[in-house]
Structure 1
């Protein structure tokens, strides 16, 4: 199976520099140089030209969105969009891929043209690049066909292959089965990959993402008197709007992290000593130890609030931000906190949709990331295929750069595990014989030196490995050429995706 070859290649690709290998694993230098990678996650596009050793990071990373000043006006992309937003113009921001599907093909085509033509310098009239296109799951038949149509007819590619981002993330980490979590701009996904294939029933989309975390952070900033005092200097009478801009800047610059002390649950208080009972029983020493423990806990909390503070340069003013930047992630685990937000500025569309989904339901739902993971695994059948998913957890997307988030997600998912022995769990009549015993988060192997601590780039790394194998196969079984497209039409792309 192709997926198994890709997994082997992931482990062997770094060895090709040190000796000869089977020609099956090596494509010609010409094809390597003329491979173009176009990899989407739910917030960004990573793109690059050429495959080399060691495997390199993408040449270009852009936001996977476009803008429009008028309903039927031209699309604004890249630096022009950033400039328009910075200058406060009334621009509608459009993410072409939302809720796990392509909702605006015209916008997506404009985005691809910007990446290929403007950023990578591809001449559409004389395009010689084999294109590896990776899209978020689920990729429907219509998406396969329309994607192929645009790449062949509008961008004149000689050959293409299309795959799904979660599958490529698994390839990057050298596994055939995994549970891939991608936190995007306006939504997130939990996708089950089993034996080199995305499980259609194991794809769960949730209306919770980075914009919701940013909205929550803006609210927390308005609750800090020192922050509001500083913002009053740069935006008199418009401090809430300034707080929203500051929160966006902090999110973009990754001035956020997860504080494990703050995120601890109330379970720690279950063992609090009953002082009166201890005195009656003559356990004075336990009382003294308990008081010392409480003092240490209070000191630790105070130190966290002080040492956790950061100073952010915002519009020429140094803004002192307390420990609230460590709570940026909270909506991902508790979407209900969004109902507490009250700001004197318009609510972002994605946030309003999430709140509506929580009130009246609908698809996709507004689920916490742990709940989305649990639903994705529960939808995988037969049950024995579920346990390996919990042991191969992959967090990707821009939020993977948030320090402490992977550990916090693993801790939160431990609520779905059992401490019973594996033998006991197999007893006839056990209502949950396939409940996991532990959760393990994977990371990119160290031999991919350029990708160390860059889980956000796992899909691109996997796409590089996949393209190296697919386009290096002279039989052409796993990609389609323009000649095949001209003869068979867009439907040949879906046949490829079914392999």
Structure 2
């Protein structure tokens, strides 16, 4: 089957949000869709069907039975087949009767319904809060709930992007973190081919896509996410896995720390008049009121005007301090490296003759990278800790530079947070026209999920 460019899909899954896009005839555009990585789960117990309507029961059950976790389907697939095989060996009518009884028992078992995106909002309005359990499938960069993760992917592909499963002609480039294991890669491959019926799949590593989006093949990617910050060196398209450093300081810590500072601002508390919560702090952090001061900048003593939920108030010096835990982990009670120490640790693990190449091609990305002044502060902290010289030397650091999206992508050049998505779009356009470059259905049918280790990256 020939794959058409307008059907290519790029999918980024993160702890905080999931980004997706389709139709990359023009790469100069942001993701088609960005939604929170939240999934609601509700357990439904089917009502017993009266004997009078016994013949209608199977048809009605197909229409009304809630979605069951795909992960359970995979784990139970083999055991189900074995059970049927044994029944067939027992022979004839007994086998058929027993299968019907098994189906009836399954239809009476509690089922789990999953809600994502706008459907989750509606479910929380329609059902009591105690009935809908909301969670994030990815926690600390690892998939903790595969059934919920699949429900989220299913929602994005079939509801948000409008793809038809039965005649799916959309290959998927799935962007994954560098530390996901072989088992996780295999599980993704199985889900997408067996449950989503994709014609093709390619797994791409997130830091590498970010570097490509900045128009280069070497660099140091600093990804400041929701629960962790990861520093990944890349040299000539090769991720230096031994030199990856991850610290548990990220967006959620900034929110918590900022909330503490805001609660200590008596004037703000009085002006707002209601209890302050994490949503308030997060909104303020992302509203443009907050910023990170560079090493030579001083605080503006005047209070800044802000508004939230129709209430107006002023914010004091707390607006300059939200990101301080990134440079001093003790502020949030964590005994870990700060960002600059982590960058040095990552650099020192690379070959000496390659370090200058990395210092001159640094990228700050991730959902928490967009606050004003962050790059300037990081650059200042690094330069203060380095012996920078204009003299030529193989190991001498001459300059610290940061990359950005090239100017020939005008719609994205000021959005470094979309660099990884741009790199993914470019890679999708390069690999999907040629079946040798990605996993297709023939490959999967021949080798199963393990094919992901030989036909990807």
Question: Which category describes the TM-score, using the shorter chain as reference length?
Answer: 0.7 to 0.9
Q: Which of residues 415, 419, 440 in structure 1 aligns to 2:388?
A: 419
2:45 is the alignment partner of 1:66: no
2:314 is the alignment partner of 1:320: yes
2:423 is the alignment partner of 1:462: yes
2:114 is the alignment partner of 1:118: no
Q: Structure 2: where are the runs of 5+ without partners?
A: 44-110
Does the 8 A contact of 2:389 with 2:397 survive in 1?
A: no
Alpha-carbon distance in structure 2 between the residues aligned to 1:244 and 1:480: 42
Q: Which of residues 356, 364, 367 in structure 2 aligns to 1:395?
A: 364
Does the 8 A contact of 1:40 with 1:165 survive in 2?
A: no
SS across alignment from 2:437? coil
Does the 8 A contact of 1:116 with 1:122 survive in 2?
A: yes
2:184 is the alignment partner of 1:143: yes
Alpha-carbon distance in structure 2 between the residues aligned to 1:248 and 1:392: 30
- Indicate how the Cα distance of structure 1 residues 435 and 477 shifts in structure 2: closer, same or farther if over 3 A, else same: farther
Alpha-carbon distance in structure 1 between the residues aligned to 2:284 and 2:226: 15
Please name the residue that 1:376 is paired with. Answer: 346
The two structures have a TM-score, normalised by structure 2, of 0.78
2:13 is the alignment partner of 1:40: yes
Does the 8 A contact of 1:47 with 1:59 survive in 2?
A: yes
SS across alignment from 1:311? strand
Q: Which of residues 284, 301, 305 in structure 2 aligns to 1:305?
A: 301
Shift of 1:77: 2.3
Please name the residue that 2:105 is paired with. Answer: none
Please name the residue that 2:96 is paired with. Answer: none
2:213 is the alignment partner of 1:179: no
- Indicate how the Cα distance of structure 1 residues 68 and 322 shifts in structure 2: closer, same or farther if over 3 A, else same: farther
Q: Please give the per-residue CA displacement for 1:3-60, whole angstroms capped at 9, x wherever unaligned.
A: xxxxxxxxxxxxxxxxxxxxxxxxx9x6211101112345322111111235322110
The two structures have a TM-score, normalised by structure 1, of 0.71
Does the 8 A contact of 1:192 with 1:202 survive in 2?
A: yes
Q: Structure 1: where are the runs of 5+ without partners?
A: 1-27, 266-299, 340-354, 359-365, 427-433
Q: Which of residues 446, 452, 456 in structure 2 aligns to 1:493?
A: 452
Alpha-carbon distance in structure 2 between the residues aligned to 1:252 and 1:82: 22
Alpha-carbon distance in structure 2 between the residues aligned to 1:85 and 1:330: 35
Alpha-carbon distance in structure 1 between the residues aligned to 2:14 and 2:384: 28
Q: CA RMSD, aligned part only?
A: 2.7
- Indicate how the Cα distance of structure 1 residues 78 and 447 shifts in structure 2: closer, same or farther if over 3 A, else same: same
Deviates more, 1:219-228 or 1:48-57: 48-57
Shift of 1:251: 3.1
- Indicate how the Cα distance of structure 1 residues 42 and 390 shifts in structure 2: closer, same or farther if over 3 A, else same: farther
Figure out how many residues of one structure are paired with residues of the other and give that number.
387
SS across alignment from 2:436? coil
Shift of 1:443: 0.7
Shift of 1:420: 4.5
Deviates more, 1:214-223 or 1:406-415: 406-415
Shift of 1:186: 1.2
Shift of 1:73: 5.8
Please name the residue that 1:407 is paired with. Answer: 376
- Indicate how the Cα distance of structure 1 residues 33 and 139 shifts in structure 2: closer, same or farther if over 3 A, else same: same
Please name the residue that 1:332 is paired with. Answer: 326
Higher relative contact order, structure no. (Cα contacts within 8 Å, ≥ 6 residues apart): 1
2:152 is the alignment partner of 1:156: no
